[in-house]
Amino acid sequence: MSETHPRPAPEPESEVSASRGVANAEEARRWCRERAIEDIECIVPDQAGVARGKLMPTEKFFAEKPMTLPAAIFTQTITGDYPERDEEEYSESITDGDLIFRPDFSTFAVVPWASDPTAHVLHDAFHRDGRPVEVSPRRVLQRVVQLYKDAGLRPVVAPELEFFLVKPNLDPDYPLEPPVGRSGRTERARQAYSISAVNEFEALFDDIYEFSEAQGLEIDTLAHEAGTAQMEINLRHGDPVELADQVFLFKRTIREAALRHEMYATFMAKPIAEEPGSAMHIHHSVVSMETGENVFSDAEGGATKEFLYYIAGLQTYIPRAMAMMAPFVNSYRRITPHTSAPINMRWGYDNRTVGLRVPLSDAASRRVENRVPSSDANPYLAIAASLACGYLGLVNKLEPDAPVEGTGYNAPFTLPRSILDACRLLENTPELVDIFGRPFVRIYRGIKETEYETFMGVISPWEREYLLLSV
């Protein structure tokens, strides 16, 4: 569900800019001097989409050699554990040697919530011999985008990010509750698209907009979603790496703004049992680098065979790449019938009950919306996986089934039901392994298996409620 839908069309002037920061170290030094920047957060997105890295004084950032961090940064689980390592992983992980991290100066921006003048910059990972680290999530996405470029194509994406606002919760044994708004009351009913419900948190959203503007992050629309105190932010369409950067930074921004107002913002896929889940829908279109036209539409404004190939690729491969779009045990609690979440990979025109929706649009804006990813996904990996699936449909000229005209919930449940099932499907799909690289797939599977074993060490209230005295 969404209030409005971004238009991934080939009009460059309406796309997000890929250069909100600076071009090189000299410009960065001048940029920091003009703003009296004292410290720089050197950030690396890990496999879970968590910001890792170091905080450096500005002088040290520009005077020192490139930042180094242990290779284990890309094998850490969400609980801080590590899977067992084997010799098929990238070599530095065996000895936990250092990787080299170099800043992407185009991502330089201020940290608007910091108490002292601070900037942040995203970093890319390299081996000591200069090769990119292929298991880095940002690199995984860059590789997929390069596949399109090699074929003379430019992928365009537009993410929609859902999240819940909740009261601070210091005890994980207690369920989450909606926060108190400016009226002094909490929401007790679902308020989809309600302007007054959004206005309950006006001061928070003012901060989100202010923080976003300071960082060069562009919000297209904001709406109240179907859940209690559930919100959605739509981003403008553009380059996949740029949009993944924006989603990554938006999550951090929204959390920080919420803390200022004594509430949490959570991107868990299913944080509250009786409420809908939170998704990260991804809109796709593809532009010809030669003509600048959307390849999904022909000269007469009709759908092309490439459009159908793309849909078929998403249908065929999303279930096999779902581990990268629904990465945690909790992610699969969202994928249930009649909850605005898809349960299969059927497709349809303006149909929100299927996994692939073709929104109403003109020919230039023809696109397909992948409704499977959850908001807890690492945006680099979710976008990379979705683009890879569509790409395989294009190059293999796959054919989709017929579009669904009624509800898709009556069709069979065909998506994986657990993270372990999803990981097995990913590892046993050679086409996807070739695109992402076997080292990444093995490391990712190991992380998810380790997280699952940690989860299995926790006894749930359901087990105590129904098994304690009954079995």
> Which pLDDT does position 205 carry in this prediction?
94
**Distance, CA of 63 to CA of 81 (rounded, Å):** 33
Q: Is 90 domain-assigned?
A: yes
Q: Is 194 domain-assigned?
A: no
Contacts of 321 (CB under 8 A, 6+ apart): 385, 386, 388, 389, 426, 429, 432
Q: Is 225 domain-assigned?
A: no
Which of 72-76, 163-167, 173-177, 246-250 is the least confident region? Answer: 173-177
**Distance, CA of 263 to CA of 255 (rounded, Å):** 9
Q: Is 101 domain-assigned?
A: yes
Whether 323 has a pLDDT exceeding 90, the answer reads yes
Q: Is 260 domain-assigned?
A: no
425: left (phi over 0), alpha (psi -120 to 50) or beta: alpha
**pLDDT-derived band of residue 88, with 50, 70 and 90 as boundaries?**
low
Q: Which of 193, 165, 143 is nearest to 1 (CA)?
A: 193
Containing domain of residue 106, as a range? 14-132
Residue with tokens 């009261």: 167
> Which pLDDT does position 456 carry in this prediction?
96
Q: Is 45 domain-assigned?
A: yes
Q: Is 29 domain-assigned?
A: yes
Whether 55 has a pLDDT exceeding 80, the answer reads yes
Question: Which class for 405: exposed (0-12), middle (13-18), buried (19 or more C-beta within 10 A)?
Answer: exposed
Q: Specify whether the CB–CB gap between 2 and 234 falls below 8 A.
A: yes
Residues 198-257 have pLDDT tens digits of 888 999 999 999 999 999 999 988 889 989 999 999 999 999 999 999 999 999 999 999
Say which CATH number the domain at 75 has. Answer: 3.10.20.70
Residues 182-215 have pLDDT tens digits of 999 888 777 777 888 888 899 999 999 999 999 9
**Structural domain count of the chain:** 1
**pLDDT-derived band of residue 339, with 50, 70 and 90 as boundaries?**
confident
Q: Is 273 domain-assigned?
A: no
Record the pTM.
Answer: 0.93
**Distance, CA of 121 to CA of 390 (rounded, Å):** 30
**Distance, CA of 87 to CA of 17 (rounded, Å):** 41
> Which pLDDT does position 187 carry in this prediction?
82
